[in-house]
Amino acid sequence: MLCTFRALSLAAAEPLTLKLWPDGPPSAMTPKSEATIKLINSYGPANSNRVSDVTEPTITVYRAEKPNGASVIVAPGGGYMFLSWAHEGTQVCEWFNSLGVTAVLLKYRTPTRDEKEMFTLPVHDAQRALGLVRHHAAEWKLDPKRVGLLGFSAGGNLAGHAAWDRGARTYPQKPELDDPRGPDFLVFIYGGGFLDANDKSKFREGFSVPADAPPAFFLVAHDDKSNPVEAAMLYLEYKRRNLPAELHILTKGGHGFGMRKSKDPISDWPARCGEWMKSMGWLEAR
């Protein structure tokens, strides 16, 4: 079901898909370069778990059978080349529904690797998604102050920018649809992209965790290249600012595990995330 803002209904049995930009996205995408095409093709044939060439971004709303008022926007990863649609998307939404949380699956624009900053257009999509969920909060029986954002890998980078950047938005805005706030809480799963490209002991130029950053849950595997270093540094910034945060670094898991099951304890990360959300009061029915 694909709807515009004028015709909306929400039923637990059927997810609802809405265009983020009914009149078309405000910024054109740079065409894919040969290098980007080659990189995407290196991941093998396209399949149902991989969504790419997204030029019309949407959100799909998955309503819990017994909603508690909380909602989380889910941003799959995929290196800003594609979206890992199942194990970092639809399966995550199903898990959130089991907690009574309304899940909102974000299909953001991709590939954007040839843009000046590959995260810019996807972050615009996330910002509009946050505003759209809050705009419909009363209609969908949601708490506009319990709207979280979860991102995996590149989706984590997107989520981090949406949570921490404080620059002026550069796309044409509609006051009723573009709430200026970021997410009320952040779930950052093996995300990255905030460290200096040449010196992984410091953040990229111009980046800092703001004093009003939302509560955050960080999770990553120790054997995931530099991402555990980044998660630890981000957590320490939260600690330095006395902001609520939780950090989990598990020995094994690599990158991109999402909701896939394995013999390693990292497969239990959803339980740890759910415990954190409960401890913060976001799972209480209101």
Q: Per-residue pLDDT for 44 more than 60?
A: yes
Domain assignment present for residue 14? The answer is: no
Q: Per-residue pLDDT for 4 more than 50?
A: no
Nearest CA to 55 out of 83, 76, 85, 24 is that of: 24
Domain assignment present for residue 222? The answer is: yes
Quote the percentage of the chain above a pLDDT of 90.
87
Domain assignment present for residue 7? The answer is: no
Domain assignment present for residue 31? The answer is: no
The pTM assigned to this predicted structure is 0.94
Domain assignment present for residue 218? The answer is: yes
Question: pLDDT for 134-159, tens place per residue?
Answer: 999 999 999 999 999 999 999 999 99
Taking a C-beta distance cutoff of 8 angstroms, is the pair 143, 70 a contact?
Answer: yes
Question: pLDDT for 81-107, tens place per residue?
Answer: 999 999 999 999 999 999 999 999 999
Round to whole Å and give the CA distance between 78 and 67. Answer: 29
Cβ of 256: how many Cβ atoms within 10 Å? 18
Domain range for 232: 51-279
Round to whole Å and give the CA distance between 117 and 27. Answer: 13
Question: pLDDT for 223-274, tens place per residue?
Answer: 999 999 999 999 999 999 999 999 999 999 999 999 999 999 999 999 999 9
Quote the percentage of the chain above a pLDDT of 70.
95
- Domain count of the fold of the chain: 1
Domain assignment present for residue 253? The answer is: yes
Three-class secondary structure of residue 133 per DSSP: helix
Domain assignment present for residue 25? The answer is: no
Instruction: Indicate which CATH number applies to the domain containing 257.
Output: 3.40.50.1820
Round to whole Å and give the CA distance between 149 and 40. Answer: 26
208: which residues sit within 8 A by CB, 6+ positions away?
Answer: 164, 237
Q: Per-residue pLDDT for 7 more than 80?
A: no
Domain assignment present for residue 164? The answer is: yes
